[in-house]
Structure formats: structure tokens, C-alpha cells
Structure 1
Amino acid sequence: MGFFSATDVSVESVMAVFNTIRETVFLTNLRFVKVDVQGRTRKRVDIISMPWKPVNRFSAEAACSFDLNADLKVWVSSGPTPYEIKISQKSGAAAIQRIFAQQILAPKG
């Protein structure tokens, strides 16, 4: 992408990458990165890089088993409102939730 490379930090490894309608989300062992491409020309890019340490909870919601998308909400200690991420069915919502649980419940160093 040019904005982010897991090789920039030698100890960082990418665990999952998934796309939504206009976002790309990277989950690494050190942080999660949300890249939001905005505007009709898709030239405006908003990048949020959040280390796992301030992430204190998450929730996933799907209307029913036939729902194609799940809504993932991620709360961090510094903000009152969660980050919201849409996860498509083909992105593997269960695997993404497992990564979030492992990273949030891991001992914070």
C-alpha cells in the first residue's frame, strides 16, 4: 500500500488482513491498523494505527446466521466511543474475533 509495511518493524508480523467496503484492516502481533479510503476520487486516506495495549474490549454483532456482514466494535481506553469495522462473511469473522480475544487477553507488558 505504501503507507504501511509490517517489515518496517522487524518484530512485527501480520496475523490477518481483511477488506470491507472502503476499509482495509491489518491485525499484527503489535497493533491493529484501519486504513479508510474516502471520497469519490479515493485520494483521501485516513489511517488509524492502534497498539493492542490500550484496547480493552470488543464486540461482534450479526443480525442472524444469514447476515453477510458482522459489525465489530473496538473500545480503547482513551476514547468513549468505539471504532466500528464491518466484517464480510468471507473475511472469516470467527478467526478475526479469535485474534482480538488473544491480543486483548494477553498479558500487557
Structure 2
Amino acid sequence: MGSPTDIGTSADRYQAFLMPGEKVAMEYKGLRDAAVFTDRRLIVVDPQGLRGRKVSVSSFPWKSVTAFSLENSGTFDLDAEMKICGSGWGVCELEFTKGVDVSAIAAFVNERIFD
């Protein structure tokens, strides 16, 4: 996924998928892909193919998340990894660049799935 970016940086890719009143809380952008954490769900934008003209947009509602795990970057690791498990859709895996505050992401997800 990359690193945190200003909210709205990738809005042209996900704006049409937002529901009325849905608020974006965090946005992470990689070279081509993006992850958007909203108050209602996680949206993953993944361009397909060499040119990225075809774009896959996946929506994972917080109410269907059953568990998640985080791996921090260690001494030799250059990234952090998050796995989100959900009822009806399996596992979504996200990789973040070194230096991403995964504890902030974990706190945000905890607030959404344990309400």
C-alpha cells in the first residue's frame, strides 16, 4: 500500500464508491494502489495490468470483519503487514512501507469492529 498520504490524494479513484455521508479517516498510497479507511469500511484500489487502465476496487465493511493481525517492521524488515479477516470474503492483506504507524491503524480498526 505504501505510506500515509493526505486525504483526497487518490480521491479520483474512489470518490464514486463513497456512500452519502461516508467520511475518509486515513488514506495510504503505494506506487499504483491505495487503501482508504473510512468510518464504514476499508476500500482497496488496485490497478490491473501494465498500464493500470482496468482498476479493481474492493470494499470491506467493518461490520463483517471478524479478526485482524499486524506485523511490525523489525530490524531487517522494511515494511509492516496487516491481515484483515472477514465473514463472507476471506482475508485481505495490506503491506505498508517502513515507518507507518501501524498502532494508529490498529486503534482505528479496533474502534470500528468492536463497537
Taking structure 1 as the reference length, the TM-score comes to 0.81
Query: SS at 1:2's partner residue?
Result: helix
Deviates more, 1:89-98 or 1:9-18: 89-98
Deviates more, 1:41-50 or 1:3-12: 3-12
Aligned to 1:100: 109
Structure 1, unmatched stretches of 5+, are: none
Structure 2, unmatched stretches of 5+, are: 1-10
Taking structure 2 as the reference length, the TM-score comes to 0.77
1:17 maps onto 2:27 in alignment: yes
Q: 1:20 & 1:74 partners in 2: Cα distance?
A: 18
Q: 1:49 & 1:104 partners in 2: Cα distance?
A: 15
Aligned to 1:86: 95
Q: 2:25 & 2:16 partners in 1: Cα distance?
A: 10
Deviation per residue, 1:68-98 (Å, 9 max, x gap): 211110100113x411111123443221121
Q: 2:111 & 2:47 partners in 1: Cα distance?
A: 28
Quote the offset at 1:102 in angstroms.
1.2
Aligned to 1:69: 79
Deviates more, 1:16-25 or 1:40-49: 16-25
Q: 1:105 & 1:10 partners in 2: Cα distance?
A: 23
Quote the offset at 1:50 in angstroms.
1.7
Preserved contact between residue 74 and residue 82 of structure 1 (Cα < 8 Å)? yes
1:33-44 matches, cutoff 5 A: 33-44=43-54
Counterpart amino acid of residue 82 in structure 2 = L
Deviates more, 1:46-55 or 1:89-98: 89-98
What is the CA RMSD across the aligned residues, in angstroms? 2.2
Query: SS at 2:95's partner residue?
Result: strand
| Identical columns (%) | 28
Q: How many correspondences in the alignment? A: 105
Preserved contact between residue 61 and residue 71 of structure 1 (Cα < 8 Å)? yes
